[in-house]
Amino acid sequence: MLGAGAASLAGMSRETQNRRIAVLGAAGRMGATAVEAVQAAESLELVAVADPQAAGQSLHGLAMGAGVEDLLAASPQVVIDFTVAKAARINLPVLANAGVHAVVGTSGLNDEDFVSFAEVFNQSACLVVPNFALGAVLMMRFAEMAAPWFDTAEIIEFHHDAKIDAPSGTAMATVDRMAAASADWAEDPTEVEVLPGARGGLGPADIRVHAVRMRGMVAHQEVLLGATGQSLSIRHDTTDRSSFMPGMVLAAQQVEGTGLTVGLDALLGI
């Protein structure tokens, strides 16, 4: 489902446009960073914020709402969702029914969710972004391009110790794209796994994915590819959450049309 709905963005204008923006999950780390980025973007106007953990508090002169219905009262054109998967499954159909565009940075969504979102967003667009960092988008594209030329591949992703899902959405998006680019991978030679799980999780096309959760990390990923006599390492490191904001602002400015799109590739022309 990774490329689902890409055509909905194909005819999108590259001109920035003034947009009324609301943020769901505005009290969380990513949500709070998103609020600051929207405030700083000349073409975006922050009109509402919501987070059930901070309902009633004031943020940039706006009263923090409890949920998605509070946001709709402010007539936003785009809602940026940095909640959790369970909440997104409830909130996004509400936005679709209201004809409001959604830019989704929530992780933990799966193919079933994508099918559901594609069905309900027939009046507006839903753009789900596994990683807003432009370098990470390029990393995934490079891994996809390299996949047909190598026999073996594994992915290692590293995140802070407050991340509750594993593997990350970025890792799963990467392995999906690599598996779609090539199904011809060598078999894993491991015969004895001394510690269960030592070889990581088995992703599409049997590509192994490893997740590290550690204090001091933000978001990092390395794609390792190997063939006889050579190896290739493609790595992206996020050292501050501000790196996600240019991609998020671009998404909020440009999301248009109807249907579901996964990833920023269509906006970057790659």
Q: What percent of the chain has pLDDT over 90?
A: 81
Active-site option among 60, 160, 163, 220: 163
**134-239 has the same fold as 7-132+242-268:** no
The Cα–Cα gap between 175 and 155 comes to 8
The pLDDT mean for the chain works out to 92
pLDDT in tens, 167-200: 998 999 899 999 999 999 999 999 999 999 999 9
Q: Are 12 and 268 in contact (CB under 8 A)?
A: no
Query: Rounded to an integer, what distance in angstroms lies between the CA atom of residue 63 and that of residue 151?
Result: 55
163 is catalytic: yes
Contact 263, 12 (CB under 8 A): no
> Which has the closest alpha carbon to 77: 17, 4, 10, 5?
17
Characterize 119-136 residue by residue with b for buried, 16 or more Cβ atoms within 10 angstroms of its Cβ, and e for exposed. Answer: ebbeebbbbbbbbbbbeb
Q: Which of 159, 210, 220, 236 is catalytic?
A: 159
Quickly tell me which residue has 């002169």 as its tokens.
Answer: 61
Q: Hey, which CATH number is domain 134-239, 3.30.360.10, 3.90.480.20, 3.30.930.10, 3.10.450.50? A: 3.30.360.10
**Where are the extended beta strands (E) located within 86-229?**
101-104, 125-128, 152-159, 201-202, 208-213, 219-227
Q: In this structure, are residues 98 and 69 in contact, taking their beta carbons and an 8 Å threshold?
A: no
Strands in 44-50's sheet, in edge-to-edge order, are 44-50, 19-24, 78-81, 101-104, 125-128, 259-262
> pLDDT digits over 87-104, tens only?
999 999 999 999 999 999
Amino acid at position 175, single letter:
V
| Three-state DSSP state, 160 | coil
For the chain, domain boundaries: 7-132+242-268, 134-239
**Which CATH superfamily, name and number, covers 7-132+242-268?**
NAD(P)-binding Rossmann-like Domain (3.40.50.720)
Whether pTM > 0.85 for this model: the answer is no
- Which range is least confidently modeled, 15-24, 95-104, 222-231? 15-24
